[in-house]
Amino acid sequence: MRMHMNIMGLALALVTNPALAAVTDAVATRPMGDQVQIDWKAPGAVDVYLAYKPDAGISDAALVSGKDKDGKALVKVDPAKRPYFLLRDAADGSVTEVAERSVPLAQGSNFRDIGGYATADGRHVRWGLIYRSGASAMLTPDDLAKVNALGLRNMVDLRSDEERVLAPSKIDGVAYSAVGYSMTALMAGMNSGTPQNGVAIYHGFPKMLAPQLRIVFDLLKRGQGPIEYNCSAGQDRTGFTTALILSALGVPHETIIQDYHLSVTYRRPQYEMPRIDLARYPDNAAAQMFGRFQDNPAMRVAQPLKEADGTPYLKGAFDEIDAKWGSVDAYLEQELGVTAADREELRRRYLR
């Protein structure tokens, strides 16, 4: 297993007043199921507040560590809720918000918040509104309680018909959208899982996933969040979708690539699809493919999402967009109907 429940990953800080902020490099990690470790850098004392809703203000939060000077605090949290932390510099009053990047699920894979990332103009993506994930077919009752606590209003399933039948989501009570297509549309480029095949698959994403992306952006434009979107591993189709959302919000390309590669850390392949009995599906090509993946030791751990020379597979999708549309903005507008005015509204709604 690449990641255990008690080592839940890195989070990026969101500064409510970047011009005044003295706190830097704030991260949240989970060493234990009911404790979160907050680390930061600051020249002086910091007050640490805990809240259970995104975009909480100091008045909505509880002080858990006052005038802390050692740059760290271990905070006990409600394990069934998603915690958010406000770090207020005691000298200038500036506030930095930080949360865990990953939602700590016992049998989930790659379920994470895309909040906290800085844009080119110094704003930050709001926490708790946009989640990306792998499949949710094996979540435990406790996992489902944690997901329910996120207050999701919409899910968009990027998976094929075959995947959704083989591993239906356990998340109920959330408006659900999917676009039917066969896994054979992807399997043509998925033979051995080599980097070359990976790049070929990504070149097809801008056209193949356009119907699903129109749904995602329509929900975002209408403020129908919190939203979750997913594929099986939460890395390829989900990674492309995330790259477009962050691009539309003005997040730099380097940050988008860093987020993309986090799937190698946060994936847990054993919890993405129930065990497949190949004998039950002799004529189902998708089931045969996923079953062979399950029998392949190399595929039981997340593989790097890059070519041998370090080029990320995601570049294939961006190259395709540049070649056929000229730019990401042009693709968003011409293929997905996301205009310049829409992008400004998205930034007003999802940045702070």
**Contact present, 16 and 61 (Cβ < 8 Å):** no
Are 33 and 106 within 8 A, CB to CB?
no
Rounded-to-5 percentages of helix, strand, coil across the chain: 35, 20, 45
249 φ, ψ (degrees, to nearest 5): -85, -5
Q: Catalytic: 231? A: yes
**Amino acid identity of 127?**
W
CA distance 191 to 13: 40
From the centroid of its chain, how far is CA 77? 22
The full 3-state SS of 159-201, as one line of letters, equals: CCHHHHHHCCCCCCCCEEEECCCCCHHHHCCCCCCCHHHHHHH
Q: Please identify which of the residues 75, 103, 171, 231 carries the catalytic annotation.
A: 231
Question: Among all residues, which ones are annotated catalytic?
Answer: 231
